[in-house]
């Protein structure tokens, strides 16, 4: 049996684990509805006869048709501990939903306090931290620990970027695979299309991601997984440039990144997921003006982690740097790459290249 104190340290919503000694009245959907409607940006929807609560397009609470089971957002990595601690209350979601941050509860087994914590913590996962902090300040849910981000590095100057551009322009055919991807997916990358998914896979492998191509007749987990991920996230991914990303945009990108990184790309004895580096590169390919990608060395050096929260911090760092460069150089964001000698890529990629030279190549040397 997993110690519930461990689960509490991992996720605040686990404070109510193992409350078997309390016998309370059965929670109803009306009580959930009253709470969910009170949360900022939350809205109710009925989809195929099922009541759901969501923030924009992100569902954080969903009821079964008979309203006896409540699915809710919950960290996938903590799910096993939660279910093992209270199997009479919690269970795995349907197989199709197990790749998401999601778990299910038997509504009749919860007391009101437990339900309130579930709903609030699920909502907290899908709104910007600032929104949650403002709404929950001074309540019993105001328990976020202070941020422990690593010190932010000094921003690059235009001169730093010009030096980086000289390094990258010295690599043979450095932009060939990128320009080929753009050409093969005109006017924009659309992962509803099988040929575009194939083009993305080839581009990722050209950058060292080493995702196995399936043989004829074999399952193609990359293709099917990316197609399903695109159906869930394609229409909600922000199109704003890096300097104009909002905190909500960054939250959406971080959530999409997390689920993309977890997608299986091979099965059998050597099963593996897409992973953090390939997920960041894929998001950059999809939104090249919005997403500053990373690799393992960059993520560890700057953020000490490669989860969704770290990726969100990475995009905030990129936004801050891009805005500073725009002010310093007094040109539009789109004009900066040409001004520093890298006209084939976006500013987001220019900043990634700077970090690659400074951190990844620096470690190799």
Bridge partner residues of 266 (DSSP): 272
Q: Would you say 250 and 129 are in contact if contact means Cβ atoms under 8 Å apart? A: no
Q: Would you say 285 and 203 are in contact if contact means Cβ atoms under 8 Å apart? A: yes
* The predicted structure's pLDDT at residue 7: 36
d(C-alpha 92, C-alpha 266), whole Å: 23
Residue 149's pLDDT band (cuts 50, 70, 90): low
DSSP assignment of 128-180: -HHHHHHHHTTSTT--PPPP-PPPPPPPPPHHHHHHHHHHHHTSTTTTHHHHH
List the one residue out of 119, 136, 2 whose CA is nearest residue 54: 119
Helix (H) or strand (E) holding 264: strand 264-266
**Parallel, antiparallel or unpaired: strands 264-266 and 50-55:** unpaired
* The predicted structure's pLDDT at residue 309: 86
Percent of the chain with pLDDT over 90: 62
- From the CB of residue 340, how many other CB atoms can be counted at a distance below 10 Å? 23
- From the CB of residue 209, how many other CB atoms can be counted at a distance below 10 Å? 17
Most confident of 9-23, 68-82, 173-187, 261-275: 173-187
Q: Number of helices (H) and strands (E) in the chain: give both, helices first.
A: 16, 8
DSSP assignment of 168-211: HHTSTTTTHHHHHHHHHT-SS--TTSHHHHHHHHHHHHHTT--P
Q: What are phi and psi of 195, to 5 degrees?
A: -65, -30
* The predicted structure's pLDDT at residue 135: 85
Residue range 155-202, pLDDT digits in tens? 999 999 999 999 999 999 999 999 999 999 999 999 999 999 999 999
Residue range 20-38, pLDDT digits in tens? 333 345 789 999 999 999 9
List the one residue out of 25, 53, 28 whose CA is nearest residue 38: 53
Q: Would you say 178 and 344 are in contact if contact means Cβ atoms under 8 Å apart? A: yes
Residue 9's pLDDT band (cuts 50, 70, 90): very low
More confident residue, 153 or 271: 153
Residue range 205-229, pLDDT digits in tens? 999 888 988 888 888 999 999 999 9
d(C-alpha 115, C-alpha 173), whole Å: 57
Does position 144 have pLDDT exceeding 60, yes or no? no
Average pLDDT over residues 118-125: 93
* The predicted structure's pLDDT at residue 364: 60
Residue 325's pLDDT band (cuts 50, 70, 90): very high
CA 64 to chain centre: 26
The helix-helix angle for 29-38 and 112-124 (nearest 10°) equals 40
Three-state DSSP state, 274: coil
């Amino acid at each position: 049996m997993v110690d519930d104190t461990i689960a509490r340290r991992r996720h605040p919503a686990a404070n109510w684990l193992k409350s078997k000694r309390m016998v309370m009245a059965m929670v109803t959907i009306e009580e959930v509805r009253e709470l969910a409607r009170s949360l900022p940006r939350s809205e109710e929807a009925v989809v195929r006869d099922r009541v759901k609560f969501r923030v924009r397009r992100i569902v954080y609470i969903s009821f079964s048709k008979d309203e006896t089971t409540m699915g809710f957002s919950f960290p996938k990595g903590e799910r096993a501990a939660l279910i093992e601690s209270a199997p009479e209350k919690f269970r795995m979601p349907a197989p199709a939903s197990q790749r998401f941050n999601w778990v299910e509860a038997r509504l009749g087994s919860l007391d009101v306090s437990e339900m309130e914590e579930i709903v609030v913590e699920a909502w907290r996962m899908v709104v910007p931290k600032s929104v949650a902090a403002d709404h929950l300040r001074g309540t019993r849910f105001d328990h976020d620990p202070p941020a422990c981000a690593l010190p932010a590095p000094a921003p690059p100057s235009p001169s730093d970027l010009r030096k980086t551009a000289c390094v990258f322009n010295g690599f043979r055919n450095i932009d060939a695979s990128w320009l080929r991807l753009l050409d093969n997916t005109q006017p924009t990358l659309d992962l509803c299309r099988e040929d575009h998914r194939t083009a993305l896979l080839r581009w990722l492998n050209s950058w060292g991601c080493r995702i196995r191509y399936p043989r004829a007749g074999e399952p193609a987990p990359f293709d099917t997984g990316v197609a399903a991920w695109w159906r869930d996230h394609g229409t909600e991914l922000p199109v704003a440039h890096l300097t104009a990303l909002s905190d909500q945009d960054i939250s959406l990108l971080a959530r999409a990144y997390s689920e993309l990184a977890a997608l299986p790309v091979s099965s059998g004895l050597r099963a593996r997921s897409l992973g953090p580096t390939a997920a960041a590169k894929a998001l950059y390919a999809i939104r090249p003006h919005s997403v500053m990608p990373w690799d393992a060395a960059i993520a560890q050096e700057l953020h000490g982690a490669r989860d969704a929260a770290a990726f969100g911090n990475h995009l905030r760092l990129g936004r801050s740097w891009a805005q500073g460069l725009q002010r310093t150089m007094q040109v539009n964001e789109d004009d900066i790459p040409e001004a520093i000698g890298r006209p084939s890529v976006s500013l987001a990629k220019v900043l990634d290249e700077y970090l690659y030279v400074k951190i990844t190549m620096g470690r190799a040397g």
